C-alpha cells in the first residue's frame, strides 16, 4: 500500500503483470493435489491425465502444463470455481489501488467470455484501469471494446527493427516465438507497413497500444543493431512521436545490451559509471517531448487510409553513410 501511495504521489501508475493461464507448483490448490491426489476438492482446477502427479521427476508431466513445463501447471479455465477465482484476483488488486493489468499470454485462454467478464470486474472497480494483453500478432479479436484496451504492439517492434536497423540487423537475434527472421524494409515498405498497422484498429485503440522496441522476450534493440546507437536513437524518436504509449524496456535508456532470452533479462547496472549518459539524455528529452505532444494531439481525429497519402512516411529516410568506419544516420521527415 505504501508503495502504491508513493508511486501515485509522484505521478506514477502501477500496472501488474498478471499470469492467469497457469500457476506454479507452489500454488496452494496445486499443492493440495500433490498431497491428496484425486480426493482433493481442487481436482477440477487442473487437467490431470493420470495419478499420482509427476511434478518433480524428469519425465514429461502427466498434467496440462504451459509449454510442457512441470513447474507451470495450467488452469482448467472451464471450471467455474477457477474462473471466479481469477476474476476475483483481477478485481481485488484494482480495488487495492493498482492502475491496470498487463496480461501474460492471454491468447492461451481461448475464451472471449472469460476476458469479457474479466474486463467487467476490473472496470467495475476502476473505469480508468488499463488492460493490455501480450499478443504477438494482429489482435482485433481482443480490441473491440469488450476485452482489452490495448496489446503490446510487436508489429511496431518488427517495423522499427526492419527499417531503423535494416541491413545492419543481427538476423539470428530476431528469430523465435515461431516467427521467421525479420527482413529489412526500405522507406516505402516501412511506410506501407505502418499504414497497415494503423488501419488495423480504431483510432482510440491506436492511442492506447503499447509500442515497444524490445522486451523481456526479445533480444535488445541495441544488440539487434550490432551496437549501432544511432539506430536506437532514431527508433526512439519515431516511437515517441507515434500514436500510442511508448514502452521503454529497463536499461535501454543507458545502453544495456542483451541477446536472446535470457541474456535480455540481465541485471540493471545501477552504477552511473556504467551508463551511456548521452543516450540517457536523449531518452529524457524525447520522453518530455512525448508528454507535451500527447497533451496537444490526443483528440486528433483519425485519418483514413486515403487521407494518409501513400504515406506521409514515405518522405522518411534512414541512410547509412560510411566514413572512416563510423556510421551516421540521417532522418528526414516530410
pTM of the model: 0.88
CA 20 – CA 210 distance, rounded (Å): 20
Mean pLDDT of 176-196: 88
The strand pairing partners of 179, in sequence order, are 176
35 class by beta-carbon count within 10 Å (0-12 exposed, 13-18 middle, 19+ buried): exposed
CB atoms within 10 A of CB 308: 16
CA 75 – CA 159 distance, rounded (Å): 35
Mean pLDDT of 198-209: 97
In a domain, 324, yes or no: no
In a domain, 5, yes or no: no
> Of residues 29 and 307, which shows the higher confidence score?
29
In a domain, 80, yes or no: no
Per-residue pLDDT for 286 more than 70? yes
In a domain, 115, yes or no: no
Contacts of 185 (CB under 8 A, 6+ apart): 159, 162, 163, 166, 193
Phi, psi dihedral angles at 227 (to 5 degrees) = 80, 5
pLDDT at 57: 85
CB atoms within 10 A of CB 140: 12
Report residue 181's pLDDT band, with 50, 70 and 90 as the boundaries.
confident
Mean pLDDT of 221-247: 96
Per-residue pLDDT for 207 more than 60? yes
pLDDT digits (tens, 9 = 90+) for 6-15: 999 999 999 9
Per-residue pLDDT for 312 more than 70? no
Per-residue pLDDT for 298 more than 60? no
For every residue of 200-255, which 3-state class applies, written as one string? HCCHHHHCCCEEECCCCCCCCHHHHCCCCHHHHHHHHHHHHCCCCEEECCCCHHHC
Per-residue pLDDT for 31 more than 80? yes
- As a residue count, the chain comes to 334
Per-residue pLDDT for 27 more than 60? yes
Q: Pick from 227, 331, 206: which is nearest to 276 by CA?
A: 227
Q: Are 218 and 160 in contact (CB under 8 A)?
A: no
pLDDT at 32: 96
In a domain, 60, yes or no: no
Per-residue pLDDT for 272 more than 90? yes
Q: Pick from 213, 234, 237, 210: which is nearest to 224 by CA?
A: 213
In a domain, 185, yes or no: yes
Distances from the Cα of 203 to the Cα of 14, 143, 144, 244, 304, angstroms: 25, 11, 12, 10, 10
Q: What share of the chain is helix, strand, coil (3-state, %, to 5)?
A: 45, 15, 40
Task: Give the ranges where the chain is alpha helix by DSSP (H).
Answer: 2-9, 28-36, 80-95, 112-125, 154-160, 187-200, 203-206, 221-224, 229-240, 277-297
In the set 99, 117, 134, 252, the catalytic residue is: 134
pLDDT at 132: 99
With a pLDDT cut of 90, the percent of the chain lying above it is 81
Distances from the Cα of 239 to the Cα of 5, 163, 194, 307, angstroms: 30, 13, 12, 22
Report residue 175's pLDDT band, with 50, 70 and 90 as the boundaries.
confident
Q: What is the domain extent for residue 285?
A: 135-314
Per-residue pLDDT for 304 more than 50? no
Query: What is the total count of domains within the chain?
Result: 1
In a domain, 175, yes or no: yes
Q: Are 231 and 175 in contact (CB under 8 A)?
A: no
CA 293 – CA 124 distance, rounded (Å): 31
Per-residue pLDDT for 328 more than 60? no
* Mean pLDDT over the full length of the chain: 89
Cell of 67: 509449454
In the set 5, 6, 95, 104, the catalytic residue is: 104
268 class by beta-carbon count within 10 Å (0-12 exposed, 13-18 middle, 19+ buried): exposed
Mean pLDDT of 132-138: 97
Give the CATH number, domain containing residue 159. Answer: 3.20.20.80
Radius of gyration of the chain (CA): 22
CB atoms within 10 A of CB 217: 15
Q: Pick from 98, 152, 153, 157: which is nearest to 122 by CA?
A: 98
Active site residue 326: no
Report residue 296's pLDDT band, with 50, 70 and 90 as the boundaries.
low
In a domain, 225, yes or no: yes
Cell of 7: 508511486
Active site residue 128: no
Amino acid at each position: 500500500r505504501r508503495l502504491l501511495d508513493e508511486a501515485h504521489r509522484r505521478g506514477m501508475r502501477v500496472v501488474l503483470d498478471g499470469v492467469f493461464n497457469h500457476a506454479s507448483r507452489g500454488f496452494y490448490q496445486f499443492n493440495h493435489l500433490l498431497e491428496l491426489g484425486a480426493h482433493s476438492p481442487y481436482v477440477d482446477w487442473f487437467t490431470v491425465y493420470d495419478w499420482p502427479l509427476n511434478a518433480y521427476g524428469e519425465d514429461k508431466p502427466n498434467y496440462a502444463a504451459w509449454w510442457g513445463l512441470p513447474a507451470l501447471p495450467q488452469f482448467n479455465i472451464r471450471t467455474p470455481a477457477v474462473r471466479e477465482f481469477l476474476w476475483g484476483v483481477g478485481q481485488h488488486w484494482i480495488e487495492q489501488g493498482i492502475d491496470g493489468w498487463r496480461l501474460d499470454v492471454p491468447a492461451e485462454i481461448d475464451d472471449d467470455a472469460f476476458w469479457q467478464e474479466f474486463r467487467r470486474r476490473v472496470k467495475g472497480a476502476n473505469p480508468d484501469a488499463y488492460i493490455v494483453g501480450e499478443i504477438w500478432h494482429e489482435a482485433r479479436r481482443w480490441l473491440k471494446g469488450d476485452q482489452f484496451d490495448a496489446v503490446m504492439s510487436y508489429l511496431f517492434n518488427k517495423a522499427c527493427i526492419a527499417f531503423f536497423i535494416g541491413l545492419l540487423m543481427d538476423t539470428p537475434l530476431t528469430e523465435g516465438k515461431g516467427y521467421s527472421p525479420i527482413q529489412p524494409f526500405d522507406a516505402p515498405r516501412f511506410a506501407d507497413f505502418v499504414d497497415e498497422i494503423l488501419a488495423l484498429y480504431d483510432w482510440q485503440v491506436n492511442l492506447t497500444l503499447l509500442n515497444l522496441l524490445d522486451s523481456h522476450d526479445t533480444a535488445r534493440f541495441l544488440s539487434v543493431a550490432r551496437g549501432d546507437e544511432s539506430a536506437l536513437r532514431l527508433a526512439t524518436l519515431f516511437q515517441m512521436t507515434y500514436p500510442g504509449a511508448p514502452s521503454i524496456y529497463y536499461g535501454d535508456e543507458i545502453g544495456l545490451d542483451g541477446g536472446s532470452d535470457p541474456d535480455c533479462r540481465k541485471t540493471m547496472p545501477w552504477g552511473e559509471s556504467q551508463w551511456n549518459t548521452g543516450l540517457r539524455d536523449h531518452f529524457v528529452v524525447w520522453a518530455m517531448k512525448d508528454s507535451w505532444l500527447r497533451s496537444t494531439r490526443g483528440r486528433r481525429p483519425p485519418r483514413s487510409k486515403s487521407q494518409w497519402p501513400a504515406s506521409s512516411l514515405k518522405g522518411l529516410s534512414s541512410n547509412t553513410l560510411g566514413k572512416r568506419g563510423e556510421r551516421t544516420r540521417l532522418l528526414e521527415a516530410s
